[in-house]
Structure 1
Amino acid sequence: MKKLWAEHRGFIVFFALMFCFRSAIADWSDVPSGSMKPTLLEGDRISINKMAYDLRIPFSHISLYKIADPARGDIVVFDSKAADKRLVKRVIGLPGDTVAMENNRLLINGQKVDYQPLLAGDQLELLPGKNHSLRVNSPSSRYANFDPVKVPADHYLMLGDNRDNSADSRVIGFVPRNELVGRSRGVVLSLDYDNYFLPRTERFFKELK
């Protein structure tokens, strides 16, 4: 071990620091499904700011210092215990909010969210303080309605932008704050899974809304 350390300590220290950096400061994540279409596509690789909300002990979810709270409309990466995997969704309901959905139209704290039509049948959802694209396939989907629910303290209501094809808080429930990994605001690169994994260069370094 001493010989190994003496010969390769530079590489060992480099990789240790790199893993700590990716664990606690910044990382990237693949998008494996279409639950966030049209914002994110299968094959996108997104950046993750792991210090957006908390300074954490590397390789853990233990917070040393709270930096900020998630804002409505943030695209958040979290390790869901309920789903038993890492997910990417959008923050819709903040702690204390009352949220309902009627025919794929949100009501937040009793106020109806406005919607505007976009090209290709997509919509623009005008969340308070944040506008973003949305995909709705059928107003009669089993996901299209839920009764008013109040978001508990230290929890968030998350929804996918592809509303009829997203296993989000309508399936897994509210997301605890301590499951959050970080916030994403950009696509780093993108590969087209349906076209021989060729790069989608138009999506490289694309800012997310």
Structure 2
Amino acid sequence: MADAARLARARRDALRFARDARRLAARHRRALGDARGAVDAAAAEVTAAARGGEPDALSAALRRLDALWEEHLAARVKPWWREYAESIALAVVLALLVRAFVLDAFRIPSGSMVPTLVVGDYIFVSKVAYAVRLPFTHLRLVETGAPRRGDVIVFENPRDPSSDYVKRVVGVAGDVIEIREQVLYVNGVPQPRAAAGEYAYAERSPSTGEPLAERCRRYREALAKGPILPPRGDLPGDAESSWQAAAADGVASYDVLQCRRARLASREGPFEVVRPGHVFVMGDNRDLSADSRGMGGWQVPVGHIRGRAALVFWSWGDGGLWPRGAGGLRLDRLFKPID
């Protein structure tokens, strides 16, 4: 039994040795020249002897392969530390390339996008959703798409290039945005929304760091993605027809918050028509968001968009699981798609 076990182990080791010899010879085929054929033949002989089960034949074949290994391959074997170093370096380079061209991570620092995104969420941002860009510039090498209403985007604030913001696109080129009694209007067409109860969350004070409780009204908003034409007349059905025609190209449905009481006949805008190559953005936390409505209205150049927010991959903060205190991992938000 012991002899049989030793023979089986020797056969496995021999097969591994032959496989390693073939791989190393293939990797250095140009430098080896004709010697590669000799190595491959000796490796094949070892493989056949190991599978045949004849100890004497296997021993002879191993001696021939070992001699060729020492003569042609031993000096080409990299030390273990070099193998690890090269693997780590390759992984770092690939990660940098992915981050530069394909996918980036972004941490949510404020509550302006609550309830879609909360403070402490870490999100993946698709950098190729709209274009392949030259890293660290606004130069777009290849166009891959255009922002649509309802997209959640990360962008370089045109008024403060050192800051990245995350907001939702509510207006594209040619649109006129307006808020009437807290209802979003696009080109004079109200975007439907339905009450969805209340939403409570804690916004930390910027001065003390203490959580400040907020309780807001929650609405489910339906933003049409297609071209929205102004209503033909003043009848309620005219605006509904315009929305239905635009909704045929898709609808973005998401929750928004209203933390202040609506005032009768209150209005924001209408703002300047969205220029070509620009978008109009708003936060889902409508009363606590610094967005395109501020300072008389501003727009985001498409070249400033870093990408489209795709997924919450990590979330840590108030309300999470932790043995002590309120902060910790929010399991319910892990790998959550961003609507």
Partner of 1:125: 221
Which has a greater percent of helix?
2
Q: Residue by residue, what CA displacement relative to the aligned partner does 1:54-105 show, whole Å, maximum 9, x if unpaired?
A: 0112333321011000111000011113133000000000011111111221
Q: Which one of the candidate residues 166, 182, 185 is aligned to 1:88?
A: 166
Q: Which one of the candidate residues 183, 190, 205 is aligned to 2:315?
A: 190
Equivalent residues, number: 203
Tell me the CA shift for residue 174 of structure 1.
0.2
Partner of 2:299: 174
Unaligned regions of 5+ residues in structure 2, if any?
1-81, 199-216, 225-250, 320-324
Decide whether aligned partners of structure 1 residues 18 and 59 sit closer, same or farther in structure 2, where only a CA change above 3 A counts: farther
After TM superposition, the score normalised by the length of structure 2 is: 0.56
Decide whether aligned partners of structure 1 residues 12 and 152 sit closer, same or farther in structure 2, where only a CA change above 3 A counts: same
- Distance in 2, Cα, partners of 1:207 & 1:18: 22
CA contact (8 A) 1:158 1:169 kept: yes
Tell which structure's C-alpha radius of gyration is larger. 2
1:105 equivalent in alignment to 2:174 = no
CA contact (8 A) 2:178 2:267 kept: no
- Distance in 2, Cα, partners of 1:202 & 1:66: 35
Partner of 1:62: 139
Tell me the CA shift for residue 119 of structure 1.
2.2
Which has a greater percent of strand?
1
Which region of structure 1 is more displaced relative to structure 2, 127-136 or 11-20? 11-20
Unaligned regions of 5+ residues in structure 1, if any?
none
Q: Which runs of 4+ in 1 moved over 6 A?
A: none
CA contact (8 A) 1:28 1:45 kept: yes
Partner of 1:160: 283
Identity %: 31
Structure-to-structure mapping, 1:134-149, within 5 angstroms: 134-138=256-260, 139-140=262-263, 145-149=268-272
Give the residue type in structure 1 aligned to 2:220. Answer: L
Tell me the CA shift for residue 153 of structure 1.
0.5
Partner of 1:204: 334
Give the residue type in structure 2 aligned to 1:97. Answer: D
RMSD: 2.1
Question: Tell me, what secondary structure is at the counterpart of 2:153?
Answer: strand
- Distance in 2, Cα, partners of 1:9 & 1:61: 33
CA contact (8 A) 1:101 1:148 kept: no
Greater length-normalized contact order (CA 8 Å, ≥ 6 residues apart)? 1
- Distance in 1, Cα, partners of 2:293 & 2:167: 12
Q: Residue by residue, what CA displacement relative to the aligned partner does 1:161-201 show, whole Å, maximum 9, x if unpaired?
A: 00000001112610000000000122111101465541000
CA contact (8 A) 2:158 2:300 kept: no
Decide whether aligned partners of structure 1 residues 202 and 144 sit closer, same or farther in structure 2, where only a CA change above 3 A counts: farther
Question: Tell me, what secondary structure is at the counterpart of 2:96?
Answer: helix
Tell me the CA shift for residue 14 of structure 1.
3.0
Tell me the CA shift for residue 7 of structure 1.
9.5
- Distance in 2, Cα, partners of 1:149 & 1:101: 13
- Distance in 1, Cα, partners of 2:335 & 2:164: 22
Question: Tell me, what secondary structure is at the counterpart of 1:150?
Answer: coil
